[in-house]
Amino acid sequence: MSQPAENTRIVLASRPVGEPQPSDFRIESAPLPVPGEGQLLLETRYLSLDPYMRGRMSDAESYADPVALGHVMVGGTVCTVIESRDPGYSSGDVVLSFSGWQSHSVADAKHVRKIDPSLAPVETALGVLGMPGFTGYAGLLRIGKPQPGETVVVAAATGPVGSAVGQIARIKGARAVGIAGGPEKCAYLHELGFDAAIDHRAPDFADQLAAAVPNGIDVYFENVGGQVWDAVLPLLNTYARVPVCGLIANYNLTSAPAGPDRAPALMSRILTKSLTVRGFIQSEFVKESFADFMLDMSGWVRDGKVGYREDIVDGLTNAPEAFIGLLRGKNFGKLLVKVADA
Amino acid sequence: MSQPAENTRIVLASRPVGEPQPSDFRIESAPLPVPGEGQLLLETRYLSLDPYMRGRMSDAESYADPVALGHVMVGGTVCTVIESRDPGYSSGDVVLSFSGWQSHSVADAKHVRKIDPSLAPVETALGVLGMPGFTGYAGLLRIGKPQPGETVVVAAATGPVGSAVGQIARIKGARAVGIAGGPEKCAYLHELGFDAAIDHRAPDFADQLAAAVPNGIDVYFENVGGQVWDAVLPLLNTYARVPVCGLIANYNLTSAPAGPDRAPALMSRILTKSLTVRGFIQSEFVKESFADFMLDMSGWVRDGKVGYREDIVDGLTNAPEAFIGLLRGKNFGKLLVKVADA
């Protein structure tokens, strides 16, 4: 790990209209930042790419402020400390940070968390043992509350959130039905122990889903929206719970789709089936549930009860293309960019 | 109370397409039914008319089976026992029953509940101290969970459900904003102690509502849908709760309204604001909360903390017209039909 002269960073060049284009990003070089007292100079090893980043590229009102034009794209990272001005950290320590799409950064020591490389591969702190895994854990257990024998359905099921949801549902005694794109991903869901796997690209997708849930759906963990939600809604049982953590199918919409207006029918369904539809961001549950998550999930991973898969792209400059692919469902497993070797 | 020769009843003649018409109902005469062992012959004093009945006229899937064509319209009633074949009841007792739109009926003694006429006017068992009051109580407290200082908004606020919601919200320390149709109803909301009253017929209704909730909306008790919901949705705070107990604006829809399709935008709002949208039917909460309701609500009514208003129509044969008016918001207070004098 030689100290380089420059920081390579990817900034938001323009706000996408619809699907992001490579030209919405710009690669820049900048001098290395200098850490102040209580700060760390970090070299990024892994950058996490996640669907929520699409929202941060737009200036529509959302739960977080947008990335400003010309600013570094945000994102979770696993970094190596290359210079510490905080007594709690030493050069060579590996930390979880939120340094964004860049090779180097300065962070306050109080904003990072040390990762023990002997416990699990360090990049799992961005996936199964990190924000995506916790999103699945908290949304399923705090909102979905699956009971033994109930049916839990999740889409994007080979992704880091969906695969956590399905596997935790099974651990809790529920039946897990996963939805994914293509036979390869569906085969992987069977490997993970899902009770059924449905390919959303199949022309008879809705019929296949209905056949896979003979007792209806008690929990639908919503992270995609679109045609999957359309197929799920009529299958939801009375008192079904729908934690809503993402709507990737909507993120590139530039305007409301053509009519008819199905919002009244959606509300009617919520009424007649006594549904609970509950949006959430994982941060809401960190204080109460993150410690339990780390204990439970690291145990389940260690014991082989929860498997995970990573899709690692090499080189920071490939991040824009990989991110655009993520929104199209091209990744297979938790999408990470390897920015630097250990 | 002379024993008449006949039962007058109103049956469902045809399923309405859109708004019900008088011709969808038929008035019939039938011989008086004869009570068996453990049954009571009842004479109806008051029939309750409620928006949910519109749903029972249709054969679309809902939380309850539709009324069959040619069968008596369902509905809650306050009745006098005119013949008892159960040791627990005597002729002259007043009971709450679900006898529907008819002058006489037979009920199993175990399906009725005795009303004590010394405690409150007997017809309150169909309103503030009955199903509508309980709907407001349970939906607000079990799902809405208003905290002191929060803002609660309810529409159809002079109706039996909405007026309970607003007044209970104030008892719990929240700010209550009521929505109603016309200045007379709005004035009544001020009488009941609502902090603000908005006329949904005003051309600048949405602006008036926004001005009345400077800190946003924490609980919206949904019982109407339509343009009120459209105005409320952008004003909901993060973590707002939306108990959904009725959608009267949708009940007469014959197809989905013209586009664009606003369902994806609704789901996006649920996500970005971490909303809880929860449909419910009051029966879900009876076991756990009805006893508390009766204790709380009868105390509040006795102490003048909860006021109520009744809109009483005279004569069973006027029920169809009154019900059609209810769906148009013509009633002012709990709509009842006086079927027979005491």
In terms of C-beta density within 10 A (0-12 exposed, 13-18 middle, 19 or more buried), how is residue B146 classed? buried
Specify whether the CB–CB gap between B46 and B336 falls below 8 A.
yes
Structure tokens belonging to residue B221: 């008790």
Is B62 an 8 Å CB contact of chain A? yes
Q: What is the per-residue pLDDT for A4?
A: 56
Show residues of chain A in contact with B266, CB under 8 Å: 263, 266-267
Which residue from A minimizes the CA distance to B250? A264
Ordered alpha helix ranges (H), chain B: 52-56, 131-138, 160-171, 183-191, 205-212, 226-232, 263-272, 286-302, 319-327
pLDDT value of residue A336: 97
Mean pLDDT of B42-70: 91
- Collect all residues of chain B within an 8 Å Cβ-Cβ radius of residue A224: none
Q: Same domain for A61 and A161?
A: no
Query: Does residue A248 lie within any of the structural domains?
Result: yes
Smallest CA–CA distance from B274 into chain A, residue:
A279
Q: Is residue A1 part of a domain?
A: no
Query: CB of A2 within 8 Å of any CB in chain B?
Result: no
Whether omega for the bond prior to residue A260 falls within 30 degrees of 0, making it cis, is yes
Interface with chain A: mutation pick from B272, B273, B276, B285, highest number of A CBs within 10 Å: B272
Q: How many CB pairs under 8 A join A and B?
A: 146
Query: B1 pLDDT exceeds 60?
Result: no
- Statement to judge: residues A164 and A224 lie in one domain: yes
| DSSP state at residue B248 | G
Report the alpha-carbon distance of residue B242 to residue B260 in Å, rounded: 23
Q: Give the model's pLDDT for residue A3.
A: 55
Residue B220 belongs to some domain of the structure: yes
Q: How confident is the model at residue B213 (pLDDT cuts 50, 70, 90)?
A: very high
**Which residues 140-199 in chain A show a CB within 8 A of chain B?**
none
**pLDDT tens readout for residues A135-184:** 999 999 999 999 999 999 999 999 999 999 999 999 999 999 999 999 99
* pLDDT at residue A342, rounded to an integer: 77
B142 shares a domain with B68: no
Q: Average pLDDT in the B193-222 region?
A: 97
**Closest residue, chain A, to B65 (C-alpha):** A272
Q: Which of A62, A260, A261 is closest, CB to CB, to B272?
A: A62
- Measuring CA to CA, which residue among B163, B172, B168, B166 is closest to residue B153? B166
d(CA B277, CA B313): 35
Q: Indicate if B123 and B135 belong to the same structural domain.
A: no
If asked whether residues B115 and B184 sit together in one domain, one would say no
**Helix A160-171 crosses helix A131-138 at what angle (to 10 degrees)?**
40
Q: Are A29 and A65 within one domain?
A: yes
CA nearest to B64 within chain A: A272
Q: Say yes or no: A137 and A276 in one domain.
A: yes
First-to-last C-alpha distance (Å) of chain B: 8
Q: What is the pLDDT of residue B310?
A: 96
The ranges of chain A with pLDDT < 70 are 1-4, 61
Direct distance between the N- and C-terminal alpha carbons of chain A, in angstroms, rounded to an integer: 7
Task: Scan residues 20-59 of B and list those with Cβ closer than 8 Å to A.
Answer: 55
Over pLDDT 90: what percentage of chain B?
87
The region that residue B148 occupies, defined by phi over 0 for left and psi between -120 and 50 for alpha, beta otherwise, is beta
Chain B environment of A247 (Cβ under 8 Å):
264, 267-268, 271
Residues sharing a CB contact under 8 Å with residue A12, sequence separation 6 or more, in sequence order: A24, A25, A26, A57, A67, A68, A69, A70, A71, A73
pLDDT at B252 (0 to 100) = 74
B262 in contact with A at a CB cutoff of 8 Å?
A: yes
Q: How far is CA B335 from the centre of its chain?
A: 9
Q: Quick one: A142 and A223 in the same domain?
A: yes
User: Nearest CA of chain A to the CA of B275: how many Å?
Assistant: 5
SS3 B30: strand
In whole angstroms, what is the distance from residue A223 CA to residue A200 CA? 14
Chain B CB contacts of A262 below 8 Å: 256, 261-263
- The domain of B113 spans 6-127+309-338
CA dihedral A201→A203→A207→A213, nearest 10 degrees, is: -10
A102 token code pair = 């860049």
pLDDT at A207: 98
Which member of B239, B266, B280 has the closest CB to residue A274? B280
- Residue B44: closest CA among B84, B82, B90, B87: B82
Q: Does B64 lie in the same domain as B184?
A: no
* Interchain contact A254–B (C-beta under 8 A): no
Q: Is the pLDDT of residue B61 over 80?
A: no
Nearest beta carbon to residue A271 from set B244, B261, B284: B244
Measured CA to CA, the distance from residue B270 to residue A229 in angstroms comes to 14
Give the contacts of B274 (CB within 8 A, at least 6 positions apart). Answer: A63, A278, A279, A280, A281, A284, B238, B239
How many whole angstroms separate alpha carbon B94 and alpha carbon B72?
22
Residue A261 lies in a domain: yes
For residue A304, being part of any structural domain is answered with no
SS3 B220: strand
Interface confidence: ipTM more than 0.85: yes
Q: CA-CA distance, B136 to B145, in Å (whole number)?
A: 12
Residues B255-303 pLDDT 10s: 888 888 999 999 999 999 999 999 999 999 999 999 999 999 999 999 9
Q: Which helix (H) or strand (E) holds B177?
A: strand B175-180
- Is B222 contained in some domain? yes
Per the structure, how many domains does chain B have? 2
pLDDT digits (tens, 9 = 90+) for B2-40: 555 799 999 999 999 999 999 999 999 999 999 999 999
Residue B121 buriedness (CB in 10 A; 0-12 / 13-18 / 19+): middle
CA distances from B28 to B2, B12, B25, B71, B321 (A): 20, 11, 10, 10, 16
Q: How many CB atoms lie within 10 A of CB B305?
A: 15
Asked whether residue B48 carries a pLDDT value surpassing 70, the answer given is yes
Note whether B47 and B114 are same-domain residues. Answer: yes
How far apart CA B250 and CA B253 sit, in angstroms, is 5
User: Which pLDDT tens digit goes with each residue over A72-91?
Assistant: 999 999 999 999 999 999 99
The answer to whether B39 and B86 have CB atoms below 8 angstroms apart is yes
| B342 touches A at CB < 8 Å | no
B1 within some domain? no
* Neighboring chain A residues of B226 at a CB cutoff of 8 Å: 264
**What own/partner pairs with CB < 8 Å and gap ≥ 24 does B231-236 have?**
B231/B205, B231/B206, B232/B153, B233/B266, B233/B269, B234/B269, B235/B209, B235/B210, B236/B269, B236/B273, B236/B275
Contact call for residues B123 and B117 (beta carbons, < 8 A)? no
Q: Is A3 exposed, middle or buried (0-12, 13-18, 19+ CB in 10 A)?
A: exposed
* 3-state SS track over chain A: CCCCCEEEEEEECCCCCCCCCHHHEEEEEEECCCCCCCEEEEEEEEEECCCHHHHHCCCCCCCCCCCCCCCECCCCEEEEEEEECCCCCCCCCEEEECCCCECEEEEEHHHCEECCCCCCCHHHHHCCCCHHHHHHHHHHHHHHCCCCCCEEEECCCCCHHHHHHHHHHHHCCCEEEEEECCHHHHHHHHHCCCCEEEECCCCCHHHHHHHHCCCCEEEEEECCCHHHHHHHHHHEEEEEEEEECCCCCCCCCCCCCCCCCCHHHHHHHHHHCCCEEEECCHHHHHHHHHHHHHHHHHHHHHCCCCCCCEEEEECHHHHHHHHHHHHCCCCCCEEEEECCCC
Within a domain: B213: yes
The residue out of A247, A267, A284 marking a domain boundary is A284
The token pair that represents B229 in the structure block: 């919901």
Per-residue pLDDT band for B254 (boundaries 50, 70, 90) equals confident
Residues A31 and A116 in one domain: yes
In whole angstroms, what is the distance from residue B247 CA to residue A87 CA? 61
Distance CA(A219)–CA(A241), nearest Å, equals: 5
Same-domain status, B279 and B192: yes
> The domain spanning residue A225 has which CATH number?
3.40.50.720
| Residue A16: CATH number of its domain | 3.90.180.10
